[in-house]
Each structure stands twice: as C-alpha cells, then as structure tokens.
Structure 1
Amino acid sequence: MGRCYPHLGLEERRKLAKWREAKMPVPEIADRLGRAPSTIYRELKRNCYDDKELPELNGYYALNAQNMYEKRRALHRKMIMHPELKTAIEDRLKAGWSPEQIAGRMRLERHPIRVSHETIYRFAYSKDGRDEQFYRHLPEHRRRRRPRGHRRHNRTHIFDVQSLSHRPDRISERAEFGHWECDLMMFRKEHGKVNVTSLVERVSRFAVVMRNEDRQSKPVMEALIQSLAPLPADARQSITFDRGTEFSAWRHLKAGIGADAWFCDPQAPYQKGTVENTNNRLRKYLPRSTEPTALTNRYLRSICHRLNSTPRKCLGYLTPTEVFETKLMEIQNRLE
C-alpha cells in the first residue's frame, strides 16, 4: 500500500513564510517540516503572491498561500462547480435519501455529472459545507463524522417456537421471495400503549407499517394477517420475529394465511437485521417522542411510500417498490 502525503496546512505555511523571509535554504526548510524539498519548491512556485504593478510586494505569504490553495481545490469540487448538482443532491437528502443512495442511483441512471457518496460527505464537512450548515440535510444531522457505536440488546423472552437455526438456507440466503421480518416500534411511556408494527420483505426490502393500540399479541397478529392476506401465497410464506411477548400468538399466522413463524435466538434481535435497519430509517420520521395522534394511517402510508421509493445499495440502487413489483409479476406469470 502506498504512503499518504497530506497537503501542507496553514501552520506549516506560516513556518515556511517565516523561514523563507529569513533566507533559510529550501532543503533545510523541508527537513524541519519533514517534507520533501520538491514539495517546498512546488509550494513556492504555485502559491507565491505576484503583483505586476507593485513587484516589491511579491513574495510568499502564509494566509495568501492558503487562500490560493483552497480556491484551487474548490475548482475541482463538483458540487461547487455545478450548483444545480448540489441543489439536486440537497433535494434528495431532504427526501430522506442517504449520500450512498444518491450516488448509487446516479450511477444506475448514468447521469452525465455524478458524485460519489464520499464527495457528498466531504462537501458537507468542508469549510463551504459548514458555512451552509449542509450537515443538517444528512441522515444523522451530525456536525462531525463519527464511528458507529455498539448496540445493546436486552430482550430475553423465550417461547416454544421454531428457532432461526432451523430456518431453511434458501430463506437465510435471500434466495426465495416472500419471507418477511417483523418488529414493534415503541414510543415514550407518557404517550400511552400505542405502537407501530414494522414489516419488511427480506429480498426486496419492501416495508409495511401499521398502527397498534397496545402490545397484545393477538391483535398484532390479526393486523399482520389483514395486511398480508391480499398477496399471493408465495409472497407471504413466513415471518421472522424476536422473542418479545407481543409475538406469542404466532400460531394465528399459520391458521390465518398459512405463513410460518421463525424466531431469533434469545438476546439476538440482530438476527433479523433487515427490519432492525428499517426501524433505524423509520425513526427519522417516527422518533420516540411521536404522539399517538400523529400516527394516522395516511401518515404511515406516506412514510412507507417514501421508504419504498428510495434506492438501496443492496438492490443495485433499484427501489424496494421496483423489486417487489417485479417479484409479484414473476409469481403471477407462474400462476398463469
């Protein structure tokens, strides 16, 4: 792997200007800065101040050199060179897309001018991006980039259920359509017992969200049955749950729509990672502080539409709706 050569910073330029004014030889300056002499020669050549009318002012000045460097770098930033591109990216961020989804969709649609997700992040955290507070449009709204933390798992309910370890490989490997994952999203206790069921198909990542008045298991299962019943049998073959008590009435699924139920190991909700990931996306629209009056069916449908219309990297930057509809058409063609 090659070495990384970071650009000169303002502090280094200040030292360079001071030593240059003292007539210090370039090789000695390079040695003191820990740089190659060619780097210093190039810096002096590119960033010296040149005034043809007042040649006596010519020379190397740290702040002027830093400004020249930043302007030159800015010319190569696509989001600065093409304001219309920045506006389009900003609109998609406001619509809930991540930088990676935006970049991937641009590649899929073969845009004449496109950027990588890293370019979007770098602009957001650059001086120009910070001046515009562009970070506010990013999914996490963070002022600085930071590594992910560790998740905590604390659910330990155990039932006489079908363990995930016995689930067929074709389901685990997402080789077969029609297998779902389910979870409940809870809100602050002072808002009562109202919660939301999140349901995601594993192959297409197509999401369905439903309101529940409490955590009683049988109404939760009846809502799942009502939601999935209109689909062909091959599109609702099984659902994977964690071991929360709200899913204890899982046997109603088989009687209602013929769907199997699979359960994660104790304290291992990460085994249904698709719905966990979807919950993280939903929290942008459904934070824990959401009041029950806001959880109308119309609002939940609008959230699902936005989520299912967003391209996903794991789908080759197709949208969940596009993949879901294609799979349903394949089932319909087989039935005919």
Structure 2
Amino acid sequence: MNPTRTTDPLGQRYLRFEEREEIMRLQASGLGVRAIAREIGRHPSTVSRELKRAVGVRGYRAGMAQTHADRGRRGPRNAKLATNLRLRREVQARLERHDSPEQIAGRLKIDFPDEPEMWVSAETIYQSLYIQARGGLKRELTAYLRTGRSMRKPRRTPGHRRTRIPDMVMISERPPEIEDRAVPGHWEGDLIMGSTASGSAVGTLVERTTGFVMLLHLPDGYGTLAVQEALVAKMLTLNEQLRRSLTWDQGLEMASHREIAAATGLNIYFCDPRSPWQRGTNENTNGLLRQHLPKGKDLSFYGPGMLDNIAAELNSRPRKRHGFRTPAEMLEEIMAKTAHNQGVA
C-alpha cells in the first residue's frame, strides 16, 4: 500500500482524483484490473469497484467517478473557493498572471495577514481546477499553469516504478547512422493527447531526415491494439526503404512493439524516461501541430481526411535546413532516387 500523505485530508481510505485519472489512462492502454492495481499501489478489489463506478459511452471516466464519490460522502464541506467570491477572484487574477498555486498560497498569507478567510492551500487551488465537482475555479484556468495541463499529472510514491514494456531495445543501442540523419527511413513517434473527458489522442510520426509528417487517426482511443493497428496501416503505405526504424517513448500504447516490428520491418527503439529531447524532431513537430490540434479539445473530431490535410500543410512548409525545400519535396526526391537505383539494379 502507498503511505498516507499528510497533505491528503482523506488519507489512504479514498482514491484521489489523480489516481482516478491514472486508472482511466491505464485502462485505455489495455491493462487489466490487477496490473492497474499494481501501478497505483491499491488493492485489485478497490480498482474493480472503481471501474464500475462511472462508466459512460466512452468507458470509465475519472471526472464522472470523482463526482459520484464526492456526492456519496456524508457531510461534504463547501469548497472554500466556491463560497468565497473575493478569494476566488483574487486567486483567478493571480493565476492569469501565471503565478503558481504554491506562490499564490504563500503570497496570500503575506498580503492578507489578518484575514484567514483569504488564505487557501496550493492543494485546494489544484483540486478546484482539476476536480470540477469541487466548484470554484474554471478548468480553462489550467492553461495559465506552467505545465498547461488540463489533466493533472499523477504523483508516484518513492520507489514505485511503472510497468516496464517487455523486450524494449533502448535508444542507447540505436546505430550511429540514425543520429546523423544521413540515411532516410528513420522515424520518431508520439501521441498528442486530447481533452481528459474525451480520452482522445492523435498519433504523430516524423521522418528524421526530411521532417515529413504522418498522423495516426485513433477513433477508438489510444490503447495498445488501436495504436498498433493504426501505426502498421500507416507505415505500410511507405516504400520498404523508408521503413527502417522508429523511436518512441515508454508509453504503454507501444506494448505490442514486437508485433508492429514484425508487420512493418521497423527496428523499434525506446527513449529513456523523462527524456523528450531524445525525440527532438518529433517534439518540435508536436509543438507545430498544436496550432491545429489544440490542448483541451476532443481530438476524435478530426477524421483521417482532416488529419491528412493537416500533415500536408506541415509537409508543404519550406525548411531552412533543406535550403527552403519542403519535407514533401525531400521525400519525393528520395523515393525517385530509390526507384531509379532499383531500376538500374
């Protein structure tokens, strides 16, 4: 069991909202009840009951489950930020100038030393932002946080590790030829996440030599099988010479990497934890894609045709590193050379 946090007034007895969000994410990745329980440090029966708590059209929803849990507890207290309008306006104004909840909580005691009703903890601010059933602050204000996350990142207890994907080949074993971008056909991949409520995502693939982008339509969520099928289908549209390797992070959506490799011929490598710079081309491209696929939106709205149009727009942008030729032109040139060489042979 996880140790009780002193900052959590409910202690160990009740699931926290961030645990519910982790349950939602892990279930979407294809994990079963016992595996999820190991991940969050809870008993399997607790997870089993929780998964039955709030099942909507799209499956288990963390926000819905939290609402049910709050309503079911006896004697719920009114949230301070929901009932104190003056305090709420003060916190909102400070969030909008990009102060962190911790800074706001500390500063309020300095600015209002004799008014305890104007004091609020950082955790209360976070809960008001992320748990809408608590009332008070609008979720849109999360955009002013430094992370900009619409979904709170789960905490992990000391010594707790996420389930390791079997048979991963780490990026340290990737051949040097991939590093210098001289040989085409080496890709970087990731997921762009949609709103928490939608549970949606779009897969992104970027070829390292040309910067050519392909997007994966994931209408049924981003579980392991969904990502596998979309990735294989997209990669098989390419010439074999353009399917050399793929580098991804350690997200559980890639748990079936062996099946993907067998179907496509790709050598698949995994980045080190918390090392997004190891997929620098992909990270940069994801930043550009956010202009078209904004945070907090239901990305299932974007069908395959729309995603292809977005990718085409990026692929038609001139790039300085290519002498202002476009990724599409670079890829076309490579494919023409490949076809010529095969004809000569």
Aligned to 1:228: 235
- Conserved? CA contact 1:194–1:211, under 8 Å: no
Structure 2 residue 244 is matched with structure 1 residue 237: yes
Could you tell me how far apart the structure 2 residues matched to 1:150 and 1:316 are?
Answer: 35
- TM-score under structure 2 normalisation? 0.51
Aligned to 1:130: none
Q: Any residues of structure 2 matched to 1:51-130 within 5 Å, and which?
A: none
**Secondary structure of the structure 1 residue equivalent to 2:202:** strand
Aligned to 2:203: 197
Unaligned runs of 5+ in 1: 1-148
- Conserved? CA contact 1:178–1:234, under 8 Å: yes
Could you tell me how far apart the structure 2 residues matched to 1:297 and 1:207 are?
Answer: 14
Aligned to 1:254: 261
Listed one character per residue, the Cα deviations across residues 79-100 of structure 1 (whole Å, up to 9, x for unaligned) are xxxxxxxxxxxxxxxxxxxxxx
Q: Any residues of structure 2 matched to 1:173-212 within 5 Å, and which?
A: 173-190=180-197, 192-212=198-218
Listed one character per residue, the Cα deviations across residues 287-309 of structure 1 (whole Å, up to 9, x for unaligned) are 01323453111211111111000
**Secondary structure of the structure 1 residue equivalent to 2:261:** helix
Aligned partner letter, 1:203: T
Aligned to 2:173: 166
Q: Any residues of structure 2 matched to 1:3-14 within 5 Å, and which?
A: none
Pairwise CA distance, 1:218: 2.2
Could you tell me how far apart the structure 2 residues matched to 1:325 and 1:221 are?
Answer: 26
Listed one character per residue, the Cα deviations across residues 49-69 of structure 1 (whole Å, up to 9, x for unaligned) are xxxxxxxxxxxxxxxxxxxxx
Could you tell me how far apart the structure 2 residues matched to 1:306 and 1:194 are?
Answer: 22
Could you tell me how far apart the structure 1 residues matched to 2:328 and 2:237 are?
Answer: 16
Pairwise CA distance, 1:207: 0.2
**Secondary structure of the structure 2 residue equivalent to 1:325:** helix
Could you tell me how far apart the structure 2 residues matched to 1:296 and 1:230 are?
Answer: 18
Could you tell me how far apart the structure 1 residues matched to 2:240 and 2:259 are?
Answer: 16
In 2 relative to 1, CA 293–188 (structure 1 residues): closer, same or farther, beyond 3 Å? Answer: closer
Aligned partner letter, 1:174: R
Q: Which has the larger radius of gyration?
A: 1
Aligned partner letter, 1:194: S
Could you tell me how far apart the structure 2 residues matched to 1:151 and 1:188 are?
Answer: 12
- Conserved? CA contact 1:211–1:297, under 8 Å: yes
- Conserved? CA contact 1:253–1:260, under 8 Å: no
Listed one character per residue, the Cα deviations across residues 268-313 of structure 1 (whole Å, up to 9, x for unaligned) are 1210011111100000010013234531112111111110000112
Structure 2 residue 220 is matched with structure 1 residue 216: no
Aligned to 1:103: none
Provide runs of 4+ in structure 1 moved above 6 Å.
149-152
Unaligned runs of 5+ in 2: 1-145, 155-160
In 2 relative to 1, CA 334–232 (structure 1 residues): closer, same or farther, beyond 3 Å? Answer: same
Aligned partner letter, 2:310: I
Q: CA RMSD in A?
A: 2.2
Aligned to 1:120: none
- Conserved? CA contact 2:196–2:296, under 8 Å: no
Aligned to 2:43: none
Structure 2 residue 334 is matched with structure 1 residue 327: yes
- TM-score under structure 1 normalisation? 0.52
Could you tell me how far apart the structure 2 residues matched to 1:150 and 1:285 are?
Answer: 19
Pairwise CA distance, 1:178: 0.4
Aligned partner letter, 1:237: R
In 2 relative to 1, CA 161–313 (structure 1 residues): closer, same or farther, beyond 3 Å? Answer: same
Pairwise CA distance, 1:151: 11
**Secondary structure of the structure 2 residue equivalent to 1:184:** strand
In 2 relative to 1, CA 333–216 (structure 1 residues): closer, same or farther, beyond 3 Å? Answer: same
Could you tell me how far apart the structure 2 residues matched to 1:327 and 1:236 are?
Answer: 13
